[in-house]
Every structure is written in C-alpha cells, then in structure tokens.
A and B are shown apart, each in its own frame.
Chain A
Amino acid sequence: MISDSEPDPIPPDYGKVVKARRARISWAWLFPVLAASAAAWLFWTNWKGQGPEIQIYFADAPGIHAGKSLLIYRGVTAGHVTRVSLNDPLDGVIVTVRLNAFAAGLGRAESAFWIDQPVISLDEITGLESLIQGNSIHARLGGGEVATKFTGLSEAPLSPLDTPSLLIQLRAASIDFLDRGTPIYHGGVTVGVVREKSLDSSGDALLLVAIDHQHKGFVRTTSKFWIVPATSLKISSTGATIDIASLSALVQGGIAFDEFGSPGEPSKDQDRFLLAPNEFAARADSSAITISFDDGRGIVPGQTVLTYLGQPIGLVDRVQVEPGNKTVDAIVKLQAAFADLAKSDSIFTVVSPRISLDGISGLDTLVSGAYIAFEPGSSEALADHFIGRSESDEEWARADAARDGLQVRLSAEDLPTISEGAPVFYRGLVAGRVLKKLLDENDRPILEILVNREFRDALRTNSRFWRVPATSISAGPGVLDVEIEGLVALIQGGVTFDLFDQPGIPATEADIFQLYNNQPLAAATSTPVNISFKFGRGLLAGKSELRYLGVPVGVVEQIYPKDGAVEVVARFRSGHDQLRRKGTTFAIVEPVISLQGVTGIETLLSGVYIQCIPGKGDGYANSFVGVTTSDSQILQEEGFELQLTTAETRIQPGAQIVYRSTEVGEVTGKSISDDGQRVILDIRIDTEYQHLVRDNSRFWDASTLEASIGFIKLKIKTGALLGPAGRIALASPEMAGGQAAEGSIFELYNTPQEKALRRFRD
C-alpha cells in the first residue's frame, strides 16, 4: 500500500473535481419514522378513546377481573375494568372502571351499576352473554352531577333501562312457585316479569311486577290477575288434556291477566291487585254468596265449582265451619254475568261421586271432584245466604225427576244384571235411567225407572219394556251377529222400551209395566195362543219363533208339559191376527238329514221354529194342536188340497204331480186309511193350476215308463229317473167336468189313463 514516508510532490492525476455533496439521508430512514408514527398513533387513539376512570363499590364482585371484565350499557361495551381491589376495612370491593370516551356521560351521580351474572332458571336464561364473556358490570344512566365514585347495586334493578316499566303489586295467599323472572302474560304474550317477591307490612305475600313499557296500557284498574299453572292436566269424561302453556311455564308457571271485558282506567305505578289462584277464580270475582251445608265433605276452597246447567259459573272461595249452627258455610263467588241468578229460592246441591257395586253415579265428579249444582229460583228477590243440600246423586236425580221426568215402575219375574243407574233406551237413545230396584208387596222385583222429560211422550200405556242384554249373540244361516250394547249397558245392563202397536194414551206415574226378557217377547203383544205338541224338542221359551211365510211373527213365551203333551204358549206381534183363525196349522220345523235329502237345514243354526199356516176357518181360537215336520217347504206353500186313494203305491210324499209334463203340485203326505184297506195320498195342487183339476180328471202313477219294441211291451220302472218319490200324472178329458172341490178324493190309477180319457170324448 501507499506509505506516508515520502509524500509525492505532485500527484500524477488530480482526478475530477467532485463537488462536496451533503451527506444524503437514505430513504430507508422512513421506516423508523413510519414505525414510530404508527405506534404513536395507536397509543394516541387508545388514550383518546379512554374516558374518565370511575370507582364502583360492590359488596362482592364475583367474576370481575381487571383487564377482562367490561362495563356494558345497552349491550354496548362502555368501558372496562382496570383494577379490582378490596377496600380498606375489607368489607367490599372497589372496581375501577375506565369508561370509553363516548360513554363518559355515564359517570353521573344517579347512575346505577350492577354485576350481571348469568341466571339460568327454568323460566329463562338471562345474562347468557356473560356466560361467554364472563361476568360484566351493567349500567343504567341516571341524572345528577358528574361523579366518579359509585355504590353498585347488589342485583339487577327492576327496570334495567331508563324507559320505566309499570310497576304494580300483586297480593296473593300463595305464591309458592312464583319467583323472580316468572313471566306475566296478557293474551298469551309475555308482557312483563315478576321482579321481586316480598312480604308487605301485614305479612301478605307480595309480588312486584314490572310490565314492559310498551304493554303497560293493557293493565287496567279492573284487570284480574291469576296464576297460570305450570302444567294443567284436565281429566274429563271426554278424555284427558294436558295443557302446557310454554316450555318456560312448564315448571314455573306464570301469571296472566285480563279485564274480562270491563276496561277500567289505565293502571298507575304501585297499584295493588289480587292474584287469583286460577283463571276461573279470577273470573268468579264479583259477588260472594254464602251457602250453608250440613256436610262439607268434598267441598274444597278454590276448586269446587258451582255449576248451572252443567256449566261452571262460580267457585267456592273459602269454607268456614260454623260450630254454632253445625253447618259448613261455603262462600261462593259467582261470575259477574251470573250474579243476578242468585234468587232467594235457588237450590244448591252438592253432587259428589258415589261408587258402589250397584254402579257408579256422579262419575264425572270422580275426576273433577264434587261440585255444587245450582238451580236458580224463580223469585224476584236476590239473596246472599242460602241453605244448601247435601244429597247423593241418586236422590238428587229423584228430585229432578219429580220436577220434569216421568217415573214409572216395571215389574218382572227376576232382574238379573240391571243395576241402579242403568240406562233406559228408546230406539237407541238414552231416554232415562233405572232409579231403584225393589220388591213389591208380592215379592216380585220392581224397577223404578225415570223417563226423561223429552221422552215422556214416547212412553204410552201400551209401551213394552224389555231388558237389554249386555251382549247378545244371534246366529242365522250364514250370519253370526254379535251385538254389544254400549259400555254402560255392558256393565249395568239396561232397559229398552218401544211401542209395537198403535200409540195408546200417554203413560202416567201410576202405570206399572211388564218387563220382558227380550225384544221378541216384548214385541209379541197380542193375546197368547196355546199350541199343544206331542213333543217339544228344540223349543225354547222366549227364543223359539213363530214364522209365517218364513218371516218371524211371534215368539214362544212359555213351554210346559201338560197331559202327556207339550203345551206352548206363544204370542204374535200385533197385526197377525189371521194366524189365530180356526184351522191354522202350527208345525215345529226341525232339521232332518236322511237319505232322502236334507230338510229344514236353516234350523240347524237358528233353532227349531214353529211354522204357521193360517187356517180358513171362521172365528178365532186360542188353542191349537201342532204338528212336527221336517219339511218347511210343504208348510210354506198354499195350494189346492186333494186326496188320492189307491190300494198300493210306491209314491212317496214329495212326489211331483205333472200335467202335460209340467209340474203343477206335489204329494204332501201319505197315510193309511182308517180301515187299513187303502193308501191315502195328500196332494196339493198349486193355486194357479187348481182349475186344471176337474171332477172327471184322472190321476195315475207315472213313475213307470212304457215302451214297446215290436211286439214286446216293456215296462221300465223309472223311479230313479223321475225322482226318488215318484211321479203322478194328471189329465182331464177334453169334455172337462166342473171344477173339483177342495178336499175331493180321487182314485190313483196305476196305469196310464190317456185311453180312458179319450173315451170321454168319444
């Protein structure tokens, strides 16, 4: 390198002259400036955003942390806690809060501060934000001087915002489950909240209620407040209803109010109201009447209702025992609309449930509790004190009946399965009920029944009563009919009445009716006929029917053996008197299964019945001799009866009678003549063909068929071809004689008679 030992006198190169430049400052120095100004700006805005510092004294400050907890005003962060310390005597906490600049105005002497903690109740969850952000201090702006030292409230004030709520007081006997936060409903909308629960100077429970500012117009001086039960379970005869007002009210319940249509003046702060235990009590608030009862059993204050025509119109407010009079006084409040029904001669009756083996009465009261039935009087004067009656349901009903129902007696042989209170039906409608079972002077059971007012006209002197069986099963061909009456009738049995005849005169109280065992018996109204059978197999009293043309027309009432025969007492329904003419045939039709066929098969299911064939005789008889047959067909057809006689024949009953190969009748019977010499066939020619039978007609056995092959005449017995019973041919000569009379006797020929007939012509 260059050494300084010998300086050059002249430098070889002077170089360029460079103007001395002032030292340039690098643009890089902008960075520190920017950084410094950014930091400065940040600190400055931070400082500027800070308002004054205030100190709040709290008895305790749970969850308040310096640097973390916030001061909230109207949901907005208005400051933050900078320091939390205990005060000098260690009896409180001093929380220092740095207000934000925009919230500096909160530092007024009357501002209120409180610590908002999450309240998780069944009713609602408040302060949920404090759950997330931690507890915070809340503020309410007040007036007054600027201040920096405050005393915090121990709990949230009644109206957290400065728009004042309407504060009213509710007084109640029992506010067990009502607490702070219980909602106040008006028309189902929450309009307020219970702020405080306390006692007033006289020791009554007092609820301080805040009604929201925008809803306070709904509270009138006439408003009635009542407790909405948390969950109401109503059990009535129509079913059970569970009412859940809302999830929040599920356990806690609520308070509702309404003025029930009489708006009064708008309410003012600190007005006092009574809190009724339920809506019904709130409604029934007008005038109190006192009813004295001999027996106060079942009357519960606040629950027992007063019903008018079955509808509740009042409520027992309280019950007082009067030892002096040995009475129980129920003080009842009526709904305002019904207050003027309390006439001086009104009747009050306690209806309470009664359960016995006989039956259940007042079943509705079993779930709803006893009630007081109210029957307003007709007097003009109003009264406020009454003597109540304590009657059982049945006695009450009896009194009821005395006024408007018709009470009649039914007499019967025995009374199985009908209990007191059992229904009385008329054409399926409940027309009354059985009041009482008793014995008359002859030890015959008697039923006292009550026919309701509206069915009075249906009951005539000739009405017929019969028992309703709990369950009836009837079987017919192809039909199995199981009939179960209503549940009540199933348990209690029942009585039905109806009119099978022309309506008679309306029945009166004194009438006694016969109670029949079943409907067919009751329906058979005519005078009984006696029919005597040799054998009564299959006949059932009260069950076996009498049929005419296959249709039931009567019923067997009694069966008893008499003089070696079976005597049947039967009755026809009205309108079948022709069956009582002399000469009427009664035949027991029973099933017969034989090689010749099956007859009367329907009786297999329906049981035997008595077939009636009306006689032609003049006048009526009450006593008949019946027959037994297996063939219902023969009895069902009317015809022209004739008899054929022959020495011997294979023809059997059921054989056809043909005229020009057309069936015109049949053999109905075969018997031996009295002298034993001849066979008599009963035949019947169908009515429409009876003109074919003439005096000179001939009958012959046509069961055989003749054929001639060449010289040989071949006789073939064609029984198998022409029917099992045989066949009888009928023919008349062309010169026909007069019309044959019914019952005429003809000869039955064994050979064809065409030739003989032709001779007539010749």
Chain B
Amino acid sequence: MTDQTRVDMARALVLSGIILYIPANILPVMTMTVTGEVEALTVMGGVEELYDSGLWPVAAIVFLASIVVPFLKLTCMTWILFLHSTGHHQRLRTKMFRILRQIGTWSMVDIFLLAVLTAVGQLGVLASVRAEIGGVFFTAVLLCSLFASDVYKPELIWRSARVPAIP
C-alpha cells in the first residue's frame, strides 16, 4: 500500500465518518421500554436521560466517549489529513495523532454498552431495550474513524512533507 493510498483511504474513511455522524446522532440508537414508558433514545438523549437520573458521572463518561471523542477524532483527523503533505505543525500533528490512537481504544465502549443493554435488558413487560438503526450508524462512524486512524501512519506526516522539516 503506497503512502498515497493510505492517505486517500484515510481521507475517504474520515469523510464517511463525518457523513454517518449526522444520522448516528439524529436517529435513536435504542428503544427503552420501562414500565410502559416507551422511549426512543438518541445518543444525546441517552446522556440526558442519565443526567436526569442523577447519574452525572456516567452521563459525563458516555457524553465524552460517544459524542465528544468521535467528534474530536473526526475533526482532528480531518485537520491532520488536511495538513497532510504540508510541513505545518508536524510535531503537533504527530502528538495529536498518537493521542487519538490512544483514545480510539475507548471509542467502542458505547457500542459495547448498547450490546450489553440489548442482551440483558429483556425483562418482558417491565422493561425491554431494543437496538435501533441509529446504533448501526453510530457503529459505522466509530469503525470509520478507527480504520482511518489505523491506515494513516504518523510517519506519513513527516515523509510526505514537501518542505524539509529541518531546514
């Protein structure tokens, strides 16, 4: 895989991620039925629900992991790729990319939570949780950003630079 292919693929994946990010946040990821109350929850709705229930630490974690981190990841990746083959902020980009990869390991926590909830939350009439289409989009967003950060290498930041980094 040439460097250019890697960059192209990363760019395509990031773009896909951005596109999918919209339905992922608009569409409900799951439907919760608790004692007769039917609620279709979007990711943000879930955070609100948790916050309303007084579980603000959990709400904060979910908010960070599900909204902030994917958003940051996508924007950062966009920024990194936008500046690809330029010599600007190479050091910063490298550091940022390293951080993104570290954080990326946490990004699936939401999907995992959804899967566990759907599997366990089957209490018949009392409560049930059903995964909705939004979850698919959300997963797709995360997968896109995951693969994007995987195909892109920090070396590329330096290798592709047309202007020598150290004059």
Residues of A within 8 A of B (CB): 25-26, 28-32, 34-36, 38-39, 42-43, 67-68, 130-134
Contacts and interface: CB of A to CB of B under 8 A. Distances in A.
B19 to A, nearest CB: 4
A32 B19 contact: yes
A42 B125 CA distance: 30
Interface string B1-28: 0001100110111011101101100010
Interface stretch (B32-40, B60-68, B113-121): B32-40
Contacts of A28: 5, 8-9, 11-13
Given A26-B9, A26-B12, A28-B13, A132 B36 contact: yes
Contact of B39 (A39, A68, A131): A68
Given A35-B140, A68-B38, A133-B36, A42 B23 contact: yes
B99 interface: no
Contacts of A36: 16, 19
A32 B15 contact: yes
Kindly name the residue among B16, B27, B140 whose own CB sees the greatest number of chain A CB atoms within 10 A: B16
B165 interface: no
A31 to B, nearest CB: 4
A67 B37 CA distance: 12
A130 B36 CA distance: 7
A131 B34 CA distance: 11
Contacts of A35: 16-17, 19-20, 140, 144
B55 interface: no
Contacts of A31: 12-13, 15-16, 144
Interface residues of B, number: 26
B72 interface: no
A35 B19 CA distance: 7
B133 interface: yes
B97 interface: no
6 contacts: A28-B5, A30-B12, A36-B19, A39-B20, A68-B39, A133-B38
Contacts, number: 61
Contact of A26 (B5, B36, B37, B38): B5
Contacts of B5: 26, 28
B137 interface: yes
Interface string B53-94: 000000000000000000000000000000000000000000
Interface string B133-167: 10001001000100000000000000000000000
Given A26-B8, A132-B125, A133-B33, A39 B23 contact: yes
A371 to B, nearest CB: 53
A37 to B, nearest CB: 10
A42 B8 CA distance: 27
Contact of A39 (B8, B13, B137): B137
Kindly name the residue among B8, B23, B36 whose own CB sees the greatest number of chain A CB atoms within 10 A: B36
B167 to A, nearest CB: 11
A31 B9 CA distance: 9
B42 to A, nearest CB: 11
Contacts of B19: 32, 35-36, 39
A31 B19 CA distance: 10
Contact of B36 (A32, A39, A134): A134
Given A28-B8, A39-B137, 18 more contacts: A26-B9, A29-B15, A31-B12, A31-B16, A31-B144, A32-B16, A38-B137, A39-B20, A42-B133, A68-B40, A130-B36, A131-B36, A132-B125, A133-B33, A133-B38, A134-B36, A134-B37, A134-B38
Contacts of A30: 12
A32 B147 CA distance: 13
Contacts of A68: 37-40
A34 B36 contact: no
Given A68-B39, A134-B36, A43 B9 contact: no
A130 B38 CA distance: 10
Contact of B22 (A39, A130, A134): A39
A29 B133 contact: no
Contacts of A26: 4-5, 8-9, 12
A131 B35 CA distance: 8
Contacts of B37: 68, 134
B8 A29 contact: yes
A65 B28 CA distance: 16
Contacts of B12: 26, 28-32
A335 B37 CA distance: 56
A311 to B, nearest CB: 52
Nearest to B151: A28
A400 to B, nearest CB: 67
B55 to A, nearest CB: 22
A36 B133 CA distance: 15
A32 B148 CA distance: 12
Q: Which 8 A-B pairs have the closest CB atoms?
A: A26-B8, A28-B12, A28-B9, A35-B16, A32-B15, A31-B16, A32-B16, A35-B19
Nearest to B140: A35
A132 B37 CA distance: 7
A177 B153 CA distance: 81
Contacts of A39: 19-20, 22-23, 137
B16 to A, nearest CB: 4
Contacts of B8: 25-26, 28-29
Interface string B110-133: 000000000000000100000001
B24 to A, nearest CB: 9
A35 B24 CA distance: 11
Contacts of A130: 36
Contacts of B15: 29, 31-32
A38 B125 CA distance: 33
Contacts of B140: 35
A35 B13 CA distance: 10
Contacts of B144: 31, 35
Contacts of B40: 67-68
Nearest to B24: A39
B90 to A, nearest CB: 18
A68 B40 CA distance: 8
Contacts of B27: 42
